[in-house]
Structure 1
Amino acid sequence: MKHRNHRRAAAAALMAASVISIASCGPAATDSGATNTRSASPSPTKPKDAFDGLTGPQISAKAKTALKDATSLRVTGDAPDGRGGTISIDMAMDTKGSCRGTIVQQHAGTIEMIKHRSTVFMKGDEKFWRASLAAGKKKPTARQADAFVEIVKGRWMKVDKKTARAMTRKDMCDLGTLADKLGDDSATDTTTTRGADVTRAGQALAVIYDRDGNEVTTIHVAKTGKPYPVEITHTGGTEPGSLKLTDFDKPVDTTPPPADQVIDTNKLRR
């Protein structure tokens, strides 16, 4: 199958990187029927199906195009971390490489991040920092680790320029990278099919299934407004996971933390 499982790869790549709902399910638009002059009761008409007559691959292509045209969004979801645990993400990101959010790793703690292009602030809990120190090339002594954790506890750290540049080169938090990873379905892709439409919180959604053996990727696509993919779920394989996409085209708040909450990195070099 051409370009199979790109959606699963997108979810896994974003969450496994660890250094990273449609615009909020509003009421679906409806049309009012014209009033019959012979009756006081209005005659409602059914809203036109935006995807009427379209196949699964055709709807998938529209969703991908809409996603590539979005300037920003918020990603929330969870997936296995490869070590028997889970990793959860709640991250707003845009096409300029900025993002803000939280990553929770079952085996490696929690980290909050604010990234405005090449400027990066990070705040981890004790579990995160101890796991990071243990994974480093130069292992600190127990005393050194305790001292480090005491300094950074509850504080933000401004990442040094070298590390920030490396993070930027990896396209971390880049919406364009996410859109590219969502796959390239063609109208002849017989593994992608359309299921029955659903309505959630008043929003009409088309449902698409992409099958690969016993593995299924399910995509919910908005039928009103822009055809954004609002949820991507992978089941049936060794890497189950689910992502919800919301807050499309809303500015990402990259306001830096207050100066008195930012650790002086010079203290860490003493």
Structure 2
Amino acid sequence: MTKTFGTWTVAVLAAVAMGLSGCGSDSGSARTSGAKDEKAGDSSPKGKDSRGRPATGRAGTSNGVEKLPATEIAEKASEALRSADSVRLLAKGANLRMDRAGNCAGTVTFQPGSPSRLIRKGEKIWLKPEDSYWATKQGKAVRAKVPGAEGKYFAGTKSSLALGLPSLMCDANPLRQDLFSKVGKWTKDGLVTLGGRKAVVLRGTTAEGASAAFFIATEGKPLPVKVESERSSKGSPQGGQATFRLTDYDEPVTVTPPGDSIDVSKVESLFIS
């Protein structure tokens, strides 16, 4: 199961927690308009948060950032991101709500099939494997060792060998990463419409050689609503593309530990085999 964890972990963390190095399996150009991302699992009305409110501030209220030089836009967006209390991250294989305190809840998809549920509160981690997992050789071995395990959460900590990698998905918290400091040589690349709302596109490069595009809201707070990165694969095993959306800023993150769970240490040897 650890090998499966690594696929999506790399895709998301490369973009968020590892300096936008762009290691992942997203398809398509790094200049996509965002139409594909609308299918990433966000059930909120377009341009709204989960309570039906404008996702980045008052709808229709221009913040004027598109008129500023690229570097100033990046500074204002960075400041707005640092002031946010929570965010929802949508990426290929991940749909997670996170807050500045480190709470995290949502779904991650490690292999084709239904998504797994992931919860983190402090150092504690809970993971409920996707339904298709239980039909695998490893899933059957877990059920044999712990009858009744199917449908329950596994519980552990960040230091757990089995749950440590999934917990890194929650460490890829853009509220706790200084994303803008990792990119330089900013340029503006016009306006686009995402979910019915305007965003100005900023492009830059990182010290690691990745190209990055930040889509900054031009209404309400100038928050990043989408990030794309692309890194050439020439001479590097970390080439590829990564895309993620940021929405539902400042929405409460509800973390409710499951009442019935299985200590992952009972089956950890099977997880890491």
TM-score (norm 2): 0.62
For 1:101 and 1:167, locate their aligned partners in 2 and report how far apart those are by CA, in whole Å. 16
Give the aligned partner of residue 65 of structure 2: 51
For 1:265 and 1:150, locate their aligned partners in 2 and report how far apart those are by CA, in whole Å. 14
1:57 alignment partner, SS class: helix
- Which amino acid is 2:187 matched to? T
CA contact (8 A) 1:100 1:254 kept: yes
Post-superposition Cα deviations, 1:205-251, rounded to whole Å, max 9, x if no partner, equal 11111147995321111111111100001236322010000111111
- Which amino acid is 2:202 matched to? I
For 2:209 and 2:159, locate their aligned partners in 1 and report how far apart those are by CA, in whole Å. 44
1:71 partnered with 2:85 = yes
97-106 vs 111-120, which moves further: 111-120
CA contact (8 A) 1:111 1:122 kept: yes
1:173 partnered with 2:170 = yes
2:65 alignment partner, SS class: coil
Trace 1:121-160 onto structure 2 (pairs within 5 A): 121-125=126-130, 144-145=141-142, 147-148=144-145, 151-159=148-156
CA contact (8 A) 1:108 1:131 kept: no
1:225 partnered with 2:211 = no
Find 1:205's aligned residue among 199, 210, 218: 199
Aligned identity (percent) is: 24
For 1:231 and 1:122, locate their aligned partners in 2 and report how far apart those are by CA, in whole Å. 27
1:163 partnered with 2:163 = no
For 1:236 and 1:173, locate their aligned partners in 2 and report how far apart those are by CA, in whole Å. 23
Trace 1:74-113 onto structure 2 (pairs within 5 A): 74-78=88-92, 88-106=93-111, 110-113=115-118
1:224 alignment partner, SS class: coil
CA contact (8 A) 1:101 1:114 kept: yes
1:207 alignment partner, SS class: strand
Following superposition, the deviation at residue 57 of structure 1 comes to: 2.1
Post-superposition Cα deviations, 1:76-129, rounded to whole Å, max 9, x if no partner, equal 112xxxxxxxxx111111111110011112389953211122332211136658
244-253 vs 119-128, which moves further: 119-128
For 1:264 and 1:105, locate their aligned partners in 2 and report how far apart those are by CA, in whole Å. 21
- Which amino acid is 2:181 matched to? D
What's the C-alpha RMSD, in Å, of the aligned pairs? Answer: 4.4
Gaps of 5+ in 2: 1-13, 26-41, 49-53, 233-238, 269-273
Give the aligned partner of residue 47 of structure 2: 25
For 1:239 and 1:102, locate their aligned partners in 2 and report how far apart those are by CA, in whole Å. 23
Following superposition, the deviation at residue 52 of structure 1 comes to: 5.0
Change in CA separation of 1:50 and 1:148 when aligned onto 2, cut-off 3 Å: farther
Give the aligned partner of residue 4 of structure 2: none
For 1:12 and 1:224, locate their aligned partners in 2 and report how far apart those are by CA, in whole Å. 29
Change in CA separation of 1:264 and 1:251 when aligned onto 2, cut-off 3 Å: same
Change in CA separation of 1:215 and 1:185 when aligned onto 2, cut-off 3 Å: closer
For 2:131 and 2:122, locate their aligned partners in 1 and report how far apart those are by CA, in whole Å. 27
Question: Aligned pair count?
Answer: 221
Give the aligned partner of residue 82 of structure 1: none
- Which amino acid is 2:179 matched to? L
Gaps of 5+ in 1: 31-46, 79-87, 134-141
